[in-house]
Amino acid sequence: MDDVSNYKGAVVIITGGSSGIGAAMVTAFAKVGACVNFLDTDEEAGLSLAESCKSNQLDVSFIPCDVTQLGTFQKVVRTIRTTYGQIDVLINNAGVACVGNIEQTKEEDFQKLVDVNIKGVYHGMLSVIPHMKEQGGGVILNVGSIAAEVALPDRFAYSMTKGAVHAMTYSVARDYLSFQIRCNCIAPARVHTPFVDGFVTKNYPGREAETFEALAQSQPIGRMGTTQEIAALAVYLCSKQASFITGSLIPIDGGFIRLNT
């Protein structure tokens, strides 16, 4: 991990890696030489991505894992540490969304977001930190959201969970400074993923094109972000070149937080 373009020998764990931003991160880290282990509950998509990466001579392994289950997560991490002898990077990317204000948010939906978006991140950090302490350091990157920084309509539960992710990032960064563990968080705005396409198709049938354009224009820069752009930032933040960055929240939002009027 001498520079941002050389992760040879580095072991990276990415949760929620089967699609969208997670899949882009899997590919991006593998292309710069990392040994990538990605976790997801979608086994079909996970196996397909792993096969595609391996066909391109990339060192990628898919491990089925539900991040809401602490025991399962810890077992997976122990296996990876035993296999490779180290864990250099953890990226907590797994997450789910929920549309609605507080009155429209069902208790079961609220609980699901807590379990995946908050407990999943807690489980990930709790699982890797003992190993990172033993080996003398490591990097944790959490995926938050601008929804925790600005008031978006109808994102009550989602915004709440991402606010918790941001707060956990600061706390872990502070508590583990002396162990050489860096912990940061990125806050994307709207990114063009299969989830966005599915959301538009489901909720705006017959108006997909105009709705997509409206979503794109809601970003001050005039378009949505790409998964590759998010992945590129992640690769930098977890590299040695970013070794002076910890306890930071880095928006990648097309100007959404500061430039909206």
So which residues are the catalytic ones? Answer: 158
**Close Cβ partners of 94 (under 8 Å, ≥ 6 residues apart):** 15, 16, 22, 39, 40, 67, 116, 120
Conformational region of residue 137, where left means phi above 0, alpha means psi within -120 to 50, and beta covers everything else: left
Q: Which DSSP string corresponds to the chain?
A: --BTTB-TT-EEEEES-SSHHHHHHHHHHHHTT-EEEEEES-HHHHHHHHHHHHHTT--EEEEE--TT-HHHHHHHHHHHHHHHS---EEEE-------B-GGG--HHHHHHHIIIIIIHHHHHHHHHHHHHHHHT-EEEEEE--GGGTS--TTBHHHHHHHHHHHHHHHHHHHHTGGGTEEEEEEEE--B--HHHHHHHHHHSTT-HHHHHHHHHHTSTTSS-B-HHHHHHHHHHHTSGGGTT--S-EEEESTTHHHH--
